[in-house]
Structure 1
Amino acid sequence: MSLPLSTTWPGHLLDLAEWAALPEDTSRRVELAEGVLQVAPKPIPLHQRIVVRLVNQLDAGADGRWAAFADVEVVIEDAPAATVRAPDVVLVPPDLSVTVPRWDAREVMAAVEVLLPGSRRLDRIVKFHEYADAGIPVYLLVEATDDGVELTEFVLVEGAYQQVAVHRGTAALRLGVTLDLAALA
């Protein structure tokens, strides 16, 4: 069953319970921003390749410190007009339950977004501030360029993200893992 695309549906801002009650829709990417459904097409194959390979590298380098997951729901704000995002990749503690439908942002150690044409502003500005406000300690932005894959690393300092590095080729992250960026694409 697909989500309705009518501009009049549902006619009000959604809370977390209403979000959870929506039918599953795997044909599009759906998030909730301050109670408003945001629907986007599924990512292009290059994006999917980068995400899968990134999850594999992060899992391989975890040494039991985290578990990496792709495209899972993270509750940014549980309010009458809720915000639920689906970062491309999240790192969570390894003992966190994997049977829950979504995690609270306070449980997320790092969020990763892979930039796409059409998501750059959302990922660089909107999610950048939402994830910081929610207290996610690390934010990574990954972008495929003509020169290869670039990763920009941000850490949370006093409630705001500060850029700590821009990586090309390999990325020795402050999380204690080194990524082969060239192998992502």
Structure 2
Amino acid sequence: MTALPEPGQLLTIADYVALGEDDRYRLELEEGKLLMVPSPEPEHNLVALGLCYQLRAQLPRELVAVPDVDVDLQLTPEGGPATVRRPDVIIVRRDEIERRKAEGGILRASGVLVVVEIVSPGTRRTDYRIKRGDYEDAGIEQYWILDPNPPVSMLALRLTDELGYVDNGEASATFTTNSPCSLTISLNQLD
């Protein structure tokens, strides 16, 4: 990881990518401002891993479930102060993975179909309010908020042209959807 930017410096996608990776920090970028976010607890990661296993078994070849990866929300023109989130899990088009591999950089919101955030005690407001607005503004079709506290539940939001994200209802025990494809998630098996 290169040196952290000066306080007050607004970063672009290129600046963010140039920082590289470092095991000491988990970073996100909000309107050009670098955020250091706490690493998830092991239990949180186990829920994400369980979700990825269930998704992988059901997704068609052209879609991929990826945990803990940077996504450029594409909220500003290239070269402007950027917003990068690191969702717990995403469902992304395989061709977006291939684009990133060929061009470098990070994944783009335009290739992401579903973002999943797993609620932690310190992220509840961020997940339900701030990130909801960011993902909505980025045009991501589905935003799922998974709360691992018993009883495990999933709140599914879908993007509409008129109203932004609309609540599809909260599921417990089993979550089923037809978007982006037919999926059934056994929520009780995620803990």
Return the TM-score normalized by structure 1: 0.90
The separation in 2 between residues aligned to 1:134 and 1:27, in whole angstroms, is: 28
Q: Contact 2:2/2:19 (CA < 8 Å) preserved in 1?
A: no
Question: Unaligned stretches of 5+ in structure 1?
Answer: none
Q: What corresponds to 1:43 in structure 2?
A: 40
Deviations 1:35-67 (A, max 9, x none): 001101210011100011111111111132511
In 2, Cα distance between equivalents of 1:134 and 1:163: 17
| Aligned-residue offset at 1:72 | 1.1
2:21 alignment counterpart: 24
Match of 1:155 in 2: 158
Q: Deviations over 1:77-117 (max 9, x none)?
A: 24421101111111111333162441111110110000111
CA displacement at 1:26 relative to structure 2: 2.1
Once residues 52 and 153 of structure 2 are traced to their aligned partners in structure 1, the CA distance between those partners, rounded to angstroms, is 16
The corresponding residue for 1:52 is 49
Note the 1:38-117 alignment, pairs <5 A.
38-76=35-73, 77-79=75-77, 80-96=80-96, 97=98, 99=101, 100-117=104-121
Residue aligned with 2:148, SS: strand
Instruction: Flag as ranges the 4+ runs of structure 1 deviating above 4 A.
Output: 1-4
- Identity of paired residues, percent? 33
Contact 1:154 1:161 in 2 (8 A): yes
Structure-2 separation of matches of 1:33 and 1:73: 12
Q: Structure 2 unaligned runs (5+)?
A: none
Distance change in 2, residues 1:14/1:2 (3 Å): closer
Structure 1 match to 2:135? 131
| Alignment partners' CA distance in 2, 1:110 and 1:121 | 20
Q: C-alpha separation between the residues in 1 aligned to 2:49 and 2:173?
A: 18
Structure 2 CA distance, aligned partners of 1:177 and 1:94? 18
Contact in 2 for aligned 1:3/1:25 (Cα 8 Å):
no
SS in 2 for 1:28: coil
CA contact (8 A) 1:16 1:78 kept: no
RMSD over aligned Cα atoms:
1.8
For normalisation by structure 2, the TM-score amounts to 0.88
Greater per-residue helix proportion: 2
The residue aligned with 1:181 is: 187
SS at 2:26's partner residue?
Answer: strand
* Alpha-carbon distance in structure 1 between the residues aligned to 2:143 and 2:123: 15
Q: What's the CA shift for 1:17?
A: 1.2
Once the 2 structures are TM-superposed, how far is the Cα of residue 10 of structure 1 from its aligned partner?
4.4
